Amino acid sequence: MARAAAVAKPPAPPGRRRASATPRRLPYLLIAPAALLMLGFIAYPVLSVFYYSLRNYNPTKPWRNGFAGFDNFVHAFTEDPQFWGTLTFSAKWVVVEVGLQLLFGLALALIVNQTFVGRALGRAMVFSPWAVSGVLTSAIWVLLYNSQTGITRYLADLGMGSYGTSWLSDTSTVFPAAVVADLWRGVPFFAILILADLQSVSKDLYEAAEVDGASRLKQFWHITLPHLKDAIVLSTLLRAVWEFNNVDLLYTLTGGGPAGVTTTLPLYIANTSVDAHDFGYASALTTVAFVILLFCSIVYLRLSKFGGGDK
């Protein structure tokens, strides 16, 4: 408060005092629109989800509606095999996706950080899928995986007939197929963030290492990687949360199928609430997802000692 008062009083001529006459209320006025929007459309819905999770709430079965205590949670953990299935798939999806995206994104950033002829164009092209939406990504890969006219058909023509199936409707191929589609869009995200950070590494460090005769691999390991650490930790976390929560891609690409093998927890929740109208149960699942997300994030930030280091 003290500093606010100090900075808000510029040495202005007396007649102009009005400019800073309301320094106390001004910041509150300025954040009011944002705060109100977030209270109404994030905080309130979050609280009502917690509240619904303790109730039976199904608009199509009003006679069952009422307080349920922790029944919804008990049902999820003990009686609903689908819940465990979707939870495991979510974990698998997030770990595989984020891991591969980070790996390829890092490699890609290191490559396009070099100077070479055609770099600007190369960067623009490899980054381009980043701007493409989940639904559009699905549309593109539906075309590619189509068994009649997609890439797979041409593989069959080349004599690799066993690949000429519809990869999205086969339980054994749908996971890698979906992973590749999401990688296509996700790798550029990491590449861009890592590239932005790479450009702030001091070149003197490399020169010194060069004089000392350190190999390129050692330079990468001891200079580049430590410098990138915070950016990597943060972007990995954001991406993991985003990959966990996002339903656009899988909803439109596989619809959670075939036979439910690509249903993530959020997708299951969407189905439970929108199709089955079981709002109470969906809210309980949402609460579980929220707690898991929060818990994993805290553990992750602790383990990676984020921001600890040299700053």
Partner 1 sequence: MSTVEKAPAVAPAPESAVRAPRGPVNRRRAWDEAPRWQIYLPLSVYLLFTLIPFYWILLFALRPAGSTSLVPWPMTFDHFEKVWTERSFGTYFQNSVYVGLATLVLTTGVALAGGYALARFDFRIKRGFMLALLCSQFVPGALLLVPLFEIFAELRMINSLGSVIIAETVFQLPLSMILISNFIKNVPYSLEEAAWVDGCNRMTGFRVVVLPLLRPGLIAVGSFAFVHSWNHFLFALMFLNNQHKQTIPVGLNNLMSADSVDLGALAAGGIIAAVPVVLVFAFIQKWLITGFSAGAVKG
Q: Which of residues 246-305 bind partner 1 (CB under 8 A)?
A: 246-248, 251-252, 255, 266, 269-270, 273-274, 279, 282-283, 286, 289-290, 293-294, 297
Residue closer to partner 1 by CB (options 170, 207) is: 207
State the SS3 of 81-117: HHHHHHHHHHHHHHHHHHHHHHHHHHHHHHHHCCCCC
Work out which of 91, 96, 100, 144 binds partner 1, going by CB under 8 A: 144
Does 309 bind partner 1 (CB under 8 A)? Our answer is no
Residue 70 identity (one-letter amino acid): F
Residue 142 identity (one-letter amino acid): V
Work out which of 14, 79, 116, 213 binds partner 1, going by CB under 8 A: 116
Work out which of 216, 218, 302, 305 binds partner 1, going by CB under 8 A: 216
Q: How far is residue 151's CA from residue 144's CA, in Å, rounded to a whole number?
A: 5
Residue closer to partner 1 by CB (options 10, 69) is: 10
Lookup result for tokens 């390991």: 221
CA angle 257, 262, 266 (to 5 degrees): 110
Distance in Å, CB of 156 to partner 1, minimum: 12
Does 95 bind partner 1 (CB under 8 A)? Our answer is no
Residue closer to partner 1 by CB (options 142, 233) is: 142
Q: Which two tokens stand for residue 262?
A: 């690509």
Lookup result for tokens 């690509």: 262
Applying the rule CB under 8 A, the residues between 5 and 24 that interact with partner 1 are 7-8, 10-13, 16, 18-20, 23-24
Does 217 bind partner 1 (CB under 8 A)? Our answer is no
Pairing relationship of beta strands 55-56 and 66-67 according to DSSP bridges: antiparallel
Does 64 bind partner 1 (CB under 8 A)? Our answer is no
Distance in Å, CB of 178 to partner 1, minimum: 14
Does 103 bind partner 1 (CB under 8 A)? Our answer is no
Q: How far is residue 301's CA from residue 234's CA, in Å, rounded to a whole number?
A: 9
Work out which of 91, 96, 100, 132 binds partner 1, going by CB under 8 A: 132
How far is CA 66 from each of CA 86, 117, 163, 187, 277, rounded to the nearest angstrom?
Answer: 27, 68, 52, 46, 15
**ω into 14 cis (within 30 of 0):** no
Question: How many residues lie near partner 1 (CB under 8 A)?
Answer: 106
Work out which of 60, 78, 114, 172 binds partner 1, going by CB under 8 A: 114
Q: Which two tokens stand for residue 209?
A: 């290492």
CA angle 198, 202, 203 (to 5 degrees): 100
Does 100 bind partner 1 (CB under 8 A)? Our answer is no
Distance in Å, CB of 173 to partner 1, minimum: 18
Work out which of 60, 115, 162, 172 binds partner 1, going by CB under 8 A: 115
Work out which of 128, 171, 302, 307 binds partner 1, going by CB under 8 A: 128
Work out which of 71, 73, 91, 129 binds partner 1, going by CB under 8 A: 129
Work out which of 97, 182, 197, 243 binds partner 1, going by CB under 8 A: 197
Lookup result for tokens 């339980």: 171
Q: Which two tokens stand for residue 108?
A: 């890609």
CA-closest candidate to residue 126, choices 76, 187, 175: 187
